[in-house]
Amino acid sequence: MSEITNTPEPPYFAVIFSSCRTEVDDGYDEMAARMVELASQQPGFLGIESAREGVGITVSYWESLQAISNWKKNAEHREAQRLGHRQWYSSFRVRIARVEREYGMG
C-alpha cells in the first residue's frame, strides 16, 4: 500500500504518528484504510507513508500547520482518534514537525 511520497521542495510539514497497538482488532484495519483515504482528500495533504513492525510509524505530509489543524478536527477523524485512545492503541506519540531539507535517490 505505502510508497515513498514525492513531496515538494521544503519547507512543508510532517505529522509523525508512532503507536503501539493493543490486541483489539474490531475494525482497526478498515479504520486505518479509511483514514488514509480521508486524509488524502483534505486540502493541503501532500502524501502519507506507513509501516508497522512491532511499533507502527505513519508519517503524513502537509502544506501548512493550518492544514494539519483542520485534519485533526475533521469529525470522522475525531471519532477514529477517540476509538484509538480507547481501544486500539496502548500508547502513541504525535509529533508535528517542519521539514527543512530533503534529499534522496530513485
Cβ distance to a copy of itself smaller for residue 11 or 43: 11
Asked if 13 and 63 touch (Cβ cutoff 8 Å), the reply is yes
User: Binder to a copy of itself among 23, 41, 54, 75 (CB under 8 A)?
Assistant: 54
Asked if 1 and 50 touch (Cβ cutoff 8 Å), the reply is yes
User: Binder to a copy of itself among 24, 55, 64, 66 (CB under 8 A)?
Assistant: 55
Nearest to 50 by CA among 42, 59, 41: 59
Q: Which three cell numbers stand for residue 53?
A: 513492525
| 93 contacts a copy of itself (rule: CB under 8 A) | yes
Residues at the contact surface with a copy of itself, assessed by CB under 8 A:
1-5, 7, 10, 14, 16, 18-20, 49-57, 59, 85, 89-106
